[in-house]
Amino acid sequence: MIINPNKLSSDSKEISNHNEQFDHLANRLSKQNIEVKPLIDKLAAFQVAIPSWALGAGGTRFGRYSYFGEPASLEHKLEDIGVLHSLTRTAGAVSLHIPWDIPKDYKAIKELAQELDLKFDAVNSNTFQDSTGAKHSYKFGSLSNSSADSRQQAIAHNKEVIQIGEKLGSKSITVWLADGSSFPGQTNFQTALSHTQDSLKEIYKSLAEDWKLFIEYKPYEPHFYSTVIQDWGTSFMLANECGEKAYTLVDLGHHLPNTNIEQIVSTLMFKGKLGGFHFNDSKYGDDDITVGSIKPYALFLIFNELVYGMANNPQNPELSWMIDASHNLKDPLEDLIQSLEAIQITYAKALLVDQQRLKQAQQQHDVSLCQEILQEAYLTDVRPLVKQARLQSNAPLDPLTTYRKLGVREQLIKERGKNTVATGL
Ligand code: LRH
Ligand code: MN
């Protein structure tokens, strides 16, 4: 399904309501010497990659409830991301997961992506599942496995994923390892880390000059005692061991409770080693739920460090923004629309922080004023700014309402039926 752009325009009443709210906010901000135009341009230019594995209904070991009309092919998935991009103009990229989404016809896929104005962001390898016909198992690890055969197979897979990415025009690979142990004594930590380091260095050798390697960390799951790349420090250390094209990828759900993620982000940017994000939210574990649905202030504090870092850390490269979610209850496309909105709203709030005034207050140890400056931005309703960015990008003012008004899900069910199941989580 491809949405006809003429159906996306907002009605005059909606636009006049918006203009009223926008003018009001713009006047208020200009009194604070905040220029609105450059802010709107930043919001309009902000593109988030959609994970190809999160366009169907997700599930847990306790069950999975289909959402009908799910994408049954990579073409369907690109079309669904095209729908998201038409409705938000902020979802202009896709992050593929291999082997779940190996293109059958590269030329056709690239043409479809171009038609939908979608770029290929990071490709993801998968050495946490044994694919059919695989000679060696990853049950006891992949790049860290004590079996050289499993390690070599996993290294070869990552090199194949890089080649697939090169054919599509992607410029980065994300490596997340499930490798770890579920019982004390099961593995030798140093041997596992040493194998992982050598294996990553082997993969790193296959990177073209303009490519990046993102090393994603996670404290637990699927193993419940240890994970080889358990935290940002291990990922950072391995990225430095590999070289200047290797970076740490921060998945918001991959932190133990109460971890100060914004401080991790600032440290990685300070060292020029923050490569990108997997946005989602969580209350307990790696829940992979809608961005900003549980801890919106924590996300704001992270974006505050990102805005500071993007202005003060030229040593850190342009970041890769991606969502990594799983939809157990909501319509996947509605869930992703809400996540994209939460990301834009939070970025807009962080752009309102008076960084100079904050720096002064910090110098003077005026602790209360520091909080006032942050919360002044956080408590500002920035939705008129996000809507203005949409208007400027020919997207509807209210994507979710438009999605429902256009009956997209009903249309997808009509086209695909009720039995299609999307590859992925
Ligand atoms: C691991 C992870 C990783 C992906 C997978 C789908 O939890 O976050 O980024 O490979 O989810
Ligand atoms: Mn992730």
Q: What are phi and psi of 277, to 5 degrees?
A: -130, 150
pTM surpassing 0.95? yes
Q: Which residues line ligand 1 (CB under 6 A)?
A: 53, 124, 176, 216, 218, 251, 278, 286, 324, 425
CA distance 386 to 140: 46
Shortest-distance atom of ligand 1 to CA 178: 1
DSSP assignments along 17-57, one per residue:
HHHHHHHHHHHHHHHTT--HHHHHHHHHH---EEETTSSSB
Q: Mutation test of ligand 1: which of 123, 216, 229, 425 has the most ligand atoms closer than 8 Å to its C-beta?
A: 216
Tell me how far the alpha carbon of residue 294 lies from the centroid of ligand 1, in angstroms. Answer: 20
- State the distance from the centre of ligand 1 to the C-alpha of 376, rounded, in angstroms: 35
Contact at 8 Å (CB) between 233 and 273? no
Ligand 1 pocket mutation pick from 50, 55, 127, 324 by most atoms within 8 angstroms of CB? 324
Task: List the structure tokens of 188.
Answer: 């030798």
Residue 72 has pLDDT above 90, yes or no: yes
- The alpha carbon of 34 and the centre of ligand 2 are apart by a number of angstroms equal to 35
Distances (CA, A) of 163 to 15, 98, 118, 131, 381: 46, 11, 19, 18, 45
Specify the residue with its C-alpha closest to ligand 1, atom 2.
176
Residue 201 class from Cβ within 10 Å (0-12 exposed, 13-18 middle, 19+ buried)? middle
Cβ-contact 8, 394 below 8 angstroms: yes
CA of 126 to the centre of ligand 1 (A): 9
Q: Tell me: the pLDDT tens digits for 205-238?
A: 999 999 999 999 999 999 999 999 999 999 999 9
Q: Identify the band that residue 28 occupies on the pLDDT scale cut at 50, 70 and 90.
A: very high
Average pLDDT, the chain: 96
